[in-house]
Structure 1
Amino acid sequence: MDFFKVVSVGEGKDMIWENFKDYEFETEEVNILASINRVLAEDIISDIDVPDFNRSTVDGYAIKSSDSYGATDSIPTILNIVGEIKMGEEAKLTIRSGQAAYIPTGGMLPEGADGVIMIENSEKMDENTLLIYKPIVQGENIIFKGDDIKKGSLALKKGRKITPELMGVMAALGISKIKVFKKPRFYIISTGDEIIDMDQELTIGKIRDINSYALYGLIINLGGEVVGKAIIKDDYNLLRNEVDKALDLSDIVIISGGSSVGARDYTHKVIDSFNGRGVFVHGVSIKPGKPTLIGEGKGKLIFGLPGHPVSSIIVFKTFIENYIYKKLNMDYIMPRVNAVMDFNFPSSPGKVTYQMVKLNEIDGQYHAEPSFGKSGMISLLSQSQGYIIIEAHEEGVYKGETREVFLL
């Protein structure tokens, strides 16, 4: 068994993509009311103009802009009021030179008008007479037909994660149902004789299962679903049976623990036991997270994550999130802030280091200080707000420099 013939982070991502770029996530049609946080599986092309008529962006009077030229507070332009545009009704008036018609915000611009003078810049002298105190230019205070979204244009791109705002866009387009990717299905297996579930009595030598709950939350945030979760002792047959079941139920299997060198390490053997590629990554030059397994069984992606909580989370974010975003064509920008480093921190040469940090805001500027502790310490998770990435070619972090902090 070739343990820890490590690959770089970039090589690991490339190997995952090379082996699973053709994996197909299924799609389904859902009502937009059930679409929040789902991922579009196809482009949406608008079959209408938005808006589908020229409309006013202010309360005022629809006029010919040329009639306002030269208008001032001392020498206003006098126009004849010929009517009123009703909200939600078609404008049947035609505005000619020297005429004006009242129009509310959102009202349909009448034919002949090419601008709207705001109420604040005009004065109604009587039912038929309007004074204008300020000139306007053609198109002022108007949103034209198709200015927002043009008929035949790309309204929403495949891979967009549906937000409340995008639900509003679809409503404007008259779209009630959309095609989305089915939620990626995950199966989480925690391994180890010492692991017990959170509701079991904690006895000497036992530790509660932390990783599966943290991973569960990460999966939900990613837009996936957990179809199964199990704790398996260090037994080859038990683990193989559970992985066999997991591969039939899920798209991705995550095995937490059991990827460090040891006499009772069965994870590698189990992954290799299925007809397929088996393990193609056994070790990544990343800190924390070096003892990471990545493989294939029954055509499904299998990850063997380190048992330490911080390592497990970092590897999930680095590889699993990256694959899902890329496979579903998702446009995603990881939440981050710029922060001044309040510390010097050397890194391991040739290895990408993920350093957990605490954030403080001082005079409107974020400052970061390290959260020290081993990757197995759960306090690192509660004390940290994010992490910085120190690339393999860097010697470390220098006090006073500004870096991106990726938020947890």
Structure 2
Amino acid sequence: MDFFKVVSIEEAREKLINNFKDYKLPIEEVDILDSLNRVLAEDIISNINVPEFNRSTVDGYAIKSSDSHGANESMPSFLNIVGEVKMGENTNIKIKSGEAVYVPTGGMIPEGADSVIMIENAERLDENTIAVYKAISPGENLIFKGDDIKKGELVLEKGKRVTSQDIGALAAIGISKVKVYRRPKFYVISTGDEIIDIDEELEIGKIRDINGYSLSALIKKIGGEVVDKVIVKDDFDLLKEEMEKALSLSDIVLISGGSSVGARDYTYDLINSFDDIGVFVHGVSIKPGKPTLIGRANGKAVFGLPGHPVSAIIVFKVFVEHFIKELIDYKEEIRKTKAIMDFNVHSSPGKETYQMVTLEERDGKLYATPIFGKSGMITLLSKSNGYIVIKSHEEGVTKGEEREVFFL
């Protein structure tokens, strides 16, 4: 086979999207309590105002703010009490200049009032009179109709991951069910005669499956569903059988290991053995992660990830997450920060380099320190806070330079 027709990250992403431009995740309707961390498949437009009436934010008296002008402790304004608003009830009281109405927190503001004097700044002198000891402005201590959400307003945008706050907003506008994208289904295959599961006895020459667990965690983190996670020996027939099962049950198949040069690496031939496009990316100018495979089999996306844990996770972040976000028009911002580099870092010419770093705050500034090590070392990930990206045209980064740090 031809090995490593290396393409740039941008080219690989473009090929990926073009080969799945007609692929869509199904949409389902769920109760808002089940929508947490799901991705909206529709824009949410409010058909009401929130609040639907002018309401008080404090316990106090609804007044015309002009009646309080000039009021202070030594020279209060005196107003006539003309009624009381009860919590949760409508009111048809209309107030004029010189009048006040008691309103509880959350209560409806009577027509004619434009502010609420807090009860702490007023004194009830008798059944019919209050003294106001503070001047207030129009709109003070109240929320006007539609101040929070206006009728016809876009409340939540398609492609947004639903948060607990969003569920509160949905409840506020009376929406009990929303349309969301079905969780993308993943099938994770770890390959290699040396790979064993965590509950198997560790013998010399064997290593425990790291990628199956770390990739499954990443899948859940982005809102995906792991249909199954299996370990398959380096046997083409066994891999073919598992692959057929994976393609029938999932949207995306991840195969870690088996993408590098080696007599017993079958991933390339495996993907091409199905009646479809097969492998369309075979090597990417990325470090770590050069021996990456991307293909299509039975209409499903298949990613051949390097066996080294850091490489596998970086490739997942760069390609698999990107693919999912494109499928569902995902709107969430990338989690990142800025930090000052604490060391010089050299990079490989022509490759986009992903360098793991730790973050530390010193003297009010955030510093990034690179963690060096081979991509097979899981501690590169467990000890890191994130990574920086060194573009292919850059020779590296210098100490004292400010860079963006992306969180894992």
How does the TM-score come out when normalised to structure 1? Answer: 0.97
Structure-2 separation of matches of 1:107 and 1:21: 52
Residue 6 (1) aligns with residue 6 (2)? yes
Partner of 1:252: 252
Structure-1 separation of matches of 2:283 and 2:144: 58
Partner of 2:55: 55
1:357-396, aligned counterparts within 5 Å?
Answer: 357-396=357-396
Structure-2 separation of matches of 1:221 and 1:378: 19
Structure-2 separation of matches of 1:393 and 1:132: 70
Residue 185 (1) aligns with residue 214 (2)? no
Partner of 2:169: 169
Q: Following TM superposition, by how much is the alpha carbon of 1:97 offset from its aligned partner in structure 2, in angstroms?
A: 1.2
Letter in 2 for 1:175: I
Letter in 2 for 1:254: L
1:131-160 alpha-carbon deviations (Å, 9 max, x no partner): 223333322222111111112222211111
1:86-143 alpha-carbon deviations (Å, 9 max, x no partner): 1111123211111001112211011111121223333322222122233333222221
Letter in 2 for 1:34: D
Letter in 1 for 2:380: L
Partner of 1:215: 215
1:18-97, aligned counterparts within 5 Å?
Answer: 18-97=18-97
1:32-78 alpha-carbon deviations (Å, 9 max, x no partner): 12221111111122121111111112222111122223333433221
Q: Following TM superposition, by how much is the alpha carbon of 1:181 offset from its aligned partner in structure 2, in angstroms?
A: 1.1
Partner of 1:272: 272
1:311-330, aligned counterparts within 5 Å?
Answer: 311-330=311-330
Letter in 1 for 2:82: V
Q: Following TM superposition, by how much is the alpha carbon of 1:341 offset from its aligned partner in structure 2, in angstroms?
A: 1.1
1:201-240 alpha-carbon deviations (Å, 9 max, x no partner): 1112111111010000000001001112221111222111
Structure-2 separation of matches of 1:13 and 1:79: 70
Compare 391-400 and 300-309 and name the one that shifted more: 391-400
Letter in 1 for 2:47: D
Structure-1 separation of matches of 2:25 and 2:336: 29
Letter in 2 for 1:344: N
Structure-2 separation of matches of 1:8 and 1:405: 21
Structure-2 separation of matches of 1:155 and 1:180: 15
Q: Following TM superposition, by how much is the alpha carbon of 1:191 offset from its aligned partner in structure 2, in angstroms?
A: 0.9
Residue 148 (1) aligns with residue 148 (2)? yes
Letter in 1 for 2:29: E
For 1:360, what is the secondary structure of its paired residue?
Answer: strand
Tell me the matched-pair count: 408
For 1:353, what is the secondary structure of its paired residue?
Answer: strand
Partner of 1:138: 138
Partner of 2:229: 229
Partner of 2:308: 308
Letter in 2 for 1:297: A
1:327-357 alpha-carbon deviations (Å, 9 max, x no partner): 2122122322222211011111221111011
Structure-1 separation of matches of 2:182 and 2:14: 24
Compare 133-142 and 268-277 and name the one that shifted more: 133-142
Partner of 2:242: 242
Compare 350-359 and 331-340 and name the one that shifted more: 331-340
Q: Following TM superposition, by how much is the alpha carbon of 1:256 offset from its aligned partner in structure 2, in angstroms?
A: 0.4
What root-mean-square deviation, in Å, do the aligned CA atoms of Structure 1 and Structure 2 show? 1.4
Over 3 Å off, 4+ runs? none
Structure-2 separation of matches of 1:21 and 1:332: 21
For 2:319, what is the secondary structure of its paired residue?
Answer: helix
Partner of 2:202: 202
Letter in 2 for 1:177: K
For 2:372, what is the secondary structure of its paired residue?
Answer: coil
Letter in 1 for 2:344: N
For 1:117, what is the secondary structure of its paired residue?
Answer: strand
Structure-2 separation of matches of 1:344 and 1:259: 31
Q: Following TM superposition, by how much is the alpha carbon of 1:162 offset from its aligned partner in structure 2, in angstroms?
A: 1.3
Partner of 1:295: 295
